[in-house]
Amino acid sequence: MNQRIGHNVHVSRHPLIQQKLTRARDRTTPRDEFRQLLAEIAALMVFELTREFETARVPVETPLEPTTGDTLAADITVVPILRAGLGMADGILHLIPQAHVGHLGIYRDEQTLQPVTYFKKLPHDIRNSSVIVVDPMLATGGSASHGLAVIKQAGARRIQFLCLVACPEGIARLAADHPDVPIYTAAIDRCLNDQGYILPGLGDAGDRLYGTGP
């Protein structure tokens, strides 16, 4: 159900994810449904992404007797790139409610398409966490690449990048700047347009989530 492209790009072809992504692409899908879809797709994708996470054996007492079970060996930190990444983080926290959350506020300058950081708050202990960075759109790759550099500077060592829609330009940029970070996406679209939007894409994810579009 998952397709691996190169050594570091994983595309989720699960029918439920694809059906929800198609609804999210639809320009007539209303904001409340769009928000719900982003959260649901992120939760389904994180289920797959965490498949290989290490577990540790722990003692547990059932109502009948002591036994042992499995628990996640390392903390998980979810880092949404604001604003649109917040829509995905919500869904992931339903599945992993104990996760730490770091916030990175980054927007693309509309003229230059260069990333601008306006907020950063990461957990102190991020070094020992498995870090999942989330942003629905991987377009030029500038925001994600910049965000990953900030997170590495804070000490993070195990990082995965999760998006909904990627394109060849963004994948090439991340592969060049952060070859150690695997990319998980539900789609690799055709290309970018002149304004740096993904085609066919789903439009401006932040504006669709928060009703701030033109």
Cβ closer to ligand PRP: 20 or 146? 146
201 is a contact residue toward ligand URA (CB under 6 A): yes
- Is residue 4 among the annotated active site residues? no
Q: Which residue in the list 108, 117, 173, 177 is annotated as catalytic? A: 108
CA distance 97 to 30: 27
Size (the chain), residues = 214
- Is residue 108 among the annotated active site residues? yes
139 is a contact residue toward ligand URA (CB under 6 A): yes
Measured over all CA atoms, what is the biggest interatomic distance in the chain, rounded to whole angstroms?
65
135 is a contact residue toward ligand PRP (CB under 6 A): yes
What are the two backbone dihedrals, phi and then psi, of residue 44, each rounded to the nearest 5 degrees?
A: -65, -40
Full 3-state SS string of 171-201: HHHHHHHCCCCCEEECEECCEECCCCCEECC
142 is a contact residue toward ligand PRP (CB under 6 A): yes
What are the two backbone dihedrals, phi and then psi, of residue 73, each rounded to the nearest 5 degrees?
A: -75, -30
88 is a contact residue toward ligand PRP (CB under 6 A): no
Helix (H) or strand (E) holding 123: none
Cβ closer to ligand URA: 81 or 131? 81
Given candidates 21, 46, 159, 205, which one binds ligand URA under the rule CB under 6 A? 205
Helix (H) or strand (E) holding 208: helix 205-210
120 is a contact residue toward ligand PRP (CB under 6 A): no
- Is residue 67 among the annotated active site residues? no
3-state class of 97 per DSSP?
Answer: coil
Q: Binders of ligand PRP: how many residues, by CB under 6 A?
A: 24
Binding site for ligand URA (CB under 6 A): 137, 139, 196-198, 201, 204-206
Binding site for ligand PRP (CB under 6 A): 81-84, 106-108, 113, 115, 135-144, 170, 196, 204-206
